[in-house]
Amino acid sequence: MLRMIGQRLMTTIPSVIGVIIVTFLLTRVLPGDTAAYFAGPAASPQAIIEIRSKLGLDQPLPVQFVSYVAALVKGDLGTSLTTGQAVTKDLAARLPASAELTLAGLILAMAVALPLGVLAAVKQGSWIDHLCRIVATAGVSLPVFFTGLLLVYVFYFILGWSPAPLGRLDVFASEPPRITGLFLVDTLLARDFETFRGALAQLILPAVTLAIFSLAPITRMTRASMLAVLGADFVRTARASGLTDGKVIGTYAFRNAMLPVVTTLGMVFSFLLGANVLVEKVFAWPGVGSYAVEALIASDYAPIQGFVLTMAILYVALNLMIDVLYGVIDPRVRLEG
């Protein structure tokens, strides 16, 4: 297992280097002038030149890239011109918000999609199977920002069941003591159940929005994988041996169907990291997605590069976790690795 993890890590190094190079080059071809933006519309050409020189933007691209990599090796992602703080500090403050939202959406999607996919495969052609197809079609067809706006309109504007979509907490509530950065966890650790209920109420709609977006691929893959396994010889042998349907489906079929489902979960998680950008803007969620959008509008290079690099590292870590889960689910993967 350790050898397999080492091999996977070695193959990810070129990918991370490629992300660093491509991100640096793309930020330099963005429309707009960073120096002119922060100098203001009334700034003189001389003032803009001075700001550009102070930021190092007047240097050739190779010189700028060497300076960026040298700082990156030291763990310095630069300073955000928008917030005036170090990018690492901004990302550390905002990443838990995005992680909490993404995990909540993925857990909700799994809680619905996995049982629905299994039931649709076991009862093929029934109303549950048709419901599975409807859910999958709706999840693929609805854009994530439209779903979020629709949920806000129905549950906040019309019914009044949901709080105003203005971030992680109500404006009158105070943040819990920061331990993990996840408000639901921190409020439970602090035994502040009133703030926990407020944080949960704010989280429900954006998490449901992400869950609807990710239901389709998880449900369809679970159904297809279960159908393939249920037709295998070992399942027929288990049934011929007199085992109950619950034992056959839960112990033998579902576990063998999990490998492609785990792969899909990893892909969906990476999709959710991208979809977070839109959901965070709709619900005013203070995560890294909205942070990157604000930096992009201002042509602020450092936060954009830090955001992309952070997402790349998370994606690499996620793929590594999936490889480890493969070995836990199917020991043959460990032997092959």
- Report pLDDT for 61: 79
- Residue 170: phi, psi to the nearest 5? -65, 155
pLDDT confidence of residue 326:
67
pLDDT in tens, 7-51: 666 777 787 788 888 888 877 776 666 776 666 666 677 777 777
223 residue type, one letter = R
Best CA proximity match to 302, nearest among 318, 315, 291, 313: 291
Mean pLDDT computed over 140-144? 77
- For residue 79, the cross-strand partners are 86
For the chain, give the mean pLDDT. Answer: 80
The Cα–Cα gap between 28 and 79 comes to 16
In the predicted model, is pLDDT for residue 333 greater than 60? no
Predicted TM-score (pTM) of the model is 0.79
More confident residue, 26 or 333: 26
Looking at residue 131, what is its pLDDT?
Answer: 81
Q: pLDDT tens digits, residue range 260-313?
A: 788 788 778 777 776 678 888 888 888 888 888 888 877 778 888 888 888 888
Higher pLDDT, 59 or 32: 59
Domain boundaries, the chain: 95-286
Helices (H), 74-143: 87-122, 127-141
Least confident of 65-74, 81-90, 322-331: 322-331
Residue range 128-134: mean pLDDT, rounded: 80
**pLDDT tens across 70-122, in order?**
888 888 888 887 788 888 888 888 888 888 888 898 899 888 888 888 888 88
Q: Per-residue pLDDT for 54 more than 80?
A: no
pLDDT of residue 30: 67
pLDDT score, position 26: 76
DSSP 79: B
For residues 139-156, average pLDDT: 84
Q: Does residue 329 surpass a pLDDT of 80?
A: no
> Is the per-residue pLDDT at 177 higher than 80?
yes
Q: Is the CB of residue 94 less than 8 Å from the CB of residue 286?
A: yes
CB neighbour class for 330 (10 Å; exposed up to 12, middle 13-18, buried from 19): middle
Confidence of residue 335 (pLDDT cuts 50, 70, 90): very low
Of 315, 265, 279, the residue nearest 101 (C-alpha): 279
Query: Which CATH superfamily does the domain covering 95-286 fall into?
Result: MetI-like (1.10.3720.10)
The model's confidence at residue 332, banded by pLDDT at 50, 70 and 90, is low
For residue 184 the two structure tokens come to: 């639901």
